[in-house]
Chains A and B, each alone.
Chain A
């Protein structure tokens, strides 16, 4: 289907079903129960899952296939965001032009950055992209304030021109919409103790993510994708066969930059404000973490990694000492206190520590990320037929 083979079609359909049913799947615990804090089925978080999923899918096309480690991808996300918000200020609050323009502008910007950065490879490439991203960040904060809003950032205002929209009533706030369907609007469905939220913005982002995912499968399976893999495994040999690697790597760089711009545009569509801090280099580091954690060079890995990190960021950081005391309340008092003090550094504000440790463990012991972990577990259960040891289905093994 859609030019995919059977396995990929199955994977795509599986992802589509998971994404469509996410409001149910991520809300397994009834409202008000003790476990309700682990529910992730609220719109804001679900939107972040898919948007960062797109960001990570794009990053994976560059890093996973060509092996070029960019430390500056957040710059493209930021540029895309700024482009989208200007569309909303000048043209219309409809998200379609905003998203399209953000992709195009991020693509042009990444073409310029990639053109220069790809003259070098290895650590030099990482440093060059990092330098470009930090430059964009500093400029957005200082000199470019008229365009970027500096520290306060940008948001649509009532009296912005917006040529295509009619004038807004005084006091009304401009809201992002898709032909009149507001992104923030959601349909709530209460069943028993459960409350499921179906958010328009989430489903828009989810559809975009499915398209992005489909395109990444096509790229992975195409001759172009094979060339990118060749760049990763041995660029010199590629050169000796008379092929110039630069156009391929540059194309991969621009594609992944456009994915980042798409994520930035969607971010603005969901939450109509932009600040320069989303271009800071830690944001670039975050997408690296996502890809590695999920599994570099695999199809589904980056999405998993993005989901895992955003889930931890939102859920772990909400847990505080009182909740911990509740959990361990069944223990005798002394042991309860000891347990709480042992666990406490890893949750709440310390969730970064957990993230760092998990990340290190993954890099050390599981270079293929969660996907490789899943494959290893699957292989344990499949021991009976050792002859069938090939790639077991949905993903290509990582390096």
Chain B
């Protein structure tokens, strides 16, 4: 029982990342009908938004501190971040400590802007071209974005820690009444899961309960009719692309403390996220989310020692295996809509 709960918990954080990326992919696919291979790059750019903000926050100037001396006896030179000058030492260091959560505010406008520019500048011209062309051009774009990030930030992973308050782990098992020290779970992962749940909820609420969302859903169902009603659906879809980019970006921002960002993290997640989207059903938002969590949890179950003893290497291939089985038995994926991507 403990082991099962532990594996479910372990699967949640990866599953959350899959679900968020797959949600964005599906939003783009469902609205614009574009297969976006650059979506992993958006995830990566989000992560580097967090890196950038924490670098901006720690921009500092050097002052000479007369009260302390270094080992040669000279007055010690101390780097003081500008935020400490402006907000005082306590607030300043708190701001630096909370750089990753603060990056959310920074990343949202940046990612929406990137998404809108991408759609207006490039993807707009590919609506009428075959899906293969869309895949190819976004694949090229992903390479370009990745290389630009690599040029400016280097090829090595950049550690970006979570705020001190969320470092370490807590004993989740004890809270549920199991023996202590069996289910130990890091704080940040539970926060990541909660964050993902909030974002997913927000996207669904936005689509379900606002007029804008209603129009977008109508456009997803029948674009032509909506246009005939005199609604400029293109503009709304462009904004949805921005929102999808922001969702991927936020997934990246919050993922930085779990895994130090490097320039190819996007590609690593992209391949899996595509599998997730296909398993969930092309164009189905609930399908994408459900499949994301399902595959994340399955992956962590497959990496249990007991399972590996029977079927070695299962953890490496479980996602692809599930995808193959699902595609062959349920061609539309778990919750695919009829008539979407059926040639």
Q: Hey, which bits of chain A sit against chain B, CB under 8 A?
A: 67, 69, 116, 119-124, 126-128, 130-132, 134-135, 138-139, 141-144, 235-236, 281-282, 285, 288, 292, 345, 350, 352-353, 355-357, 359-360, 363-364, 367
CA distance A352 to B140 in the complex (A): 10
CA distance A395 to B13 in the complex (A): 52
Known contacts A122-B341, A132-B320; 13 additional CB pairs below 8 A are A122-B131, A127-B275, A128-B323, A130-B274, A135-B316, A135-B321, A138-B320, A355-B143, A356-B140, A356-B146, A357-B144, A360-B140, A364-B125
Are B151 and A350 neighbours in the complex by a CB distance under 8 Å? yes
Are A353 and B147 neighbours in the complex by a CB distance under 8 Å? yes
Are A356 and B320 neighbours in the complex by a CB distance under 8 Å? no
| B306 at interface by CB-CB < 8 Å | no
Are A360 and B137 neighbours in the complex by a CB distance under 8 Å? yes
Out of B35, B143, B328, which one reaches A123, CB within 8 Å?
B35
* Least Cβ–Cβ distance between B297 and chain A, in angstroms: 19
Out of B131, B136, B320, which one reaches A135, CB within 8 Å?
B320
| B313 at interface by CB-CB < 8 Å | yes
Chain B facing A: main interface SS: helix
* Least Cβ–Cβ distance between B130 and chain A, in angstroms: 8
CA distance A360 to B118 in the complex (A): 13
| B331 at interface by CB-CB < 8 Å | yes
* Least Cβ–Cβ distance between A124 and chain B, in angstroms: 6
CA distance A128 to B328 in the complex (A): 10
Out of A121, A128, A139, which one reaches B343, CB within 8 Å?
A121
Per-position 1/0 for B150-162, Cβ under 8 A of A: 1100000000000
Q: Which of B305-343 contact A (CB under 8 A)?
A: 312-313, 316-317, 320-321, 323-324, 327-328, 331, 341, 343
CA distance A67 to B316 in the complex (A): 30
CA distance A71 to B324 in the complex (A): 15
Are B331 and A123 neighbours in the complex by a CB distance under 8 Å? no
| B271 at interface by CB-CB < 8 Å | yes
Out of A67, A130, A144, A356, which one reaches B143, CB within 8 Å?
A356
CA distance A333 to B150 in the complex (A): 28
Q: Give every chain A residue within 8 A of B313 (Cβ-Cβ).
A: 138-139, 142-144
CA distance A134 to B274 in the complex (A): 13
Q: Give every chain B residue within 8 A of A128 (Cβ-Cβ).
A: 323-324, 327
Out of A69, A124, A135, A353, which one reaches B151, CB within 8 Å?
A353
CB nearest neighbor in A for B35: A123
* Most B-side CB within 10 Å, residue of A69, A123, A235, A353: A123
CA distance A357 to B271 in the complex (A): 21
Q: Give every chain B residue within 8 A of A122 (Cβ-Cβ).
A: 131, 341, 343
Q: With A352-B147, A356-B141 in contact, is A139–B316 under 8 Å at CB?
A: yes
CA distance A292 to B136 in the complex (A): 9
Are A120 and B331 neighbours in the complex by a CB distance under 8 Å? yes
CA distance A142 to B136 in the complex (A): 31
Are A124 and B328 neighbours in the complex by a CB distance under 8 Å? no
CB nearest neighbor in B for A121: B343
CA distance A119 to B325 in the complex (A): 12
Q: With A127-B278, A138-B317 in contact, is A353–B148 under 8 Å at CB?
A: yes
Are A127 and B323 neighbours in the complex by a CB distance under 8 Å? yes
Q: Which of B273-308 contact A (CB under 8 A)?
A: 274-275, 278, 282
Q: Give every chain B residue within 8 A of A360 (Cβ-Cβ).
A: 137, 140-141, 144
Q: Give every chain B residue within 8 A of A141 (Cβ-Cβ).
A: 316
Q: With A132-B320, A359-B143 in contact, is A120–B271 under 8 Å at CB?
A: no
Q: Give every chain B residue within 8 A of A364 (Cβ-Cβ).
A: 122, 125, 137
Are B131 and A123 neighbours in the complex by a CB distance under 8 Å? yes
* Least Cβ–Cβ distance between A118 and chain B, in angstroms: 11
* Least Cβ–Cβ distance between A148 and chain B, in angstroms: 12
Are A139 and B317 neighbours in the complex by a CB distance under 8 Å? yes
* Least Cβ–Cβ distance between B129 and chain A, in angstroms: 8
| B79 at interface by CB-CB < 8 Å | no
* Least Cβ–Cβ distance between B33 and chain A, in angstroms: 11
Are A359 and B140 neighbours in the complex by a CB distance under 8 Å? yes
Are A138 and B316 neighbours in the complex by a CB distance under 8 Å? yes
Are B144 and A119 neighbours in the complex by a CB distance under 8 Å? no
Q: Give every chain A residue within 8 A of B122 (Cβ-Cβ).
A: 364
Are A69 and B135 neighbours in the complex by a CB distance under 8 Å? yes
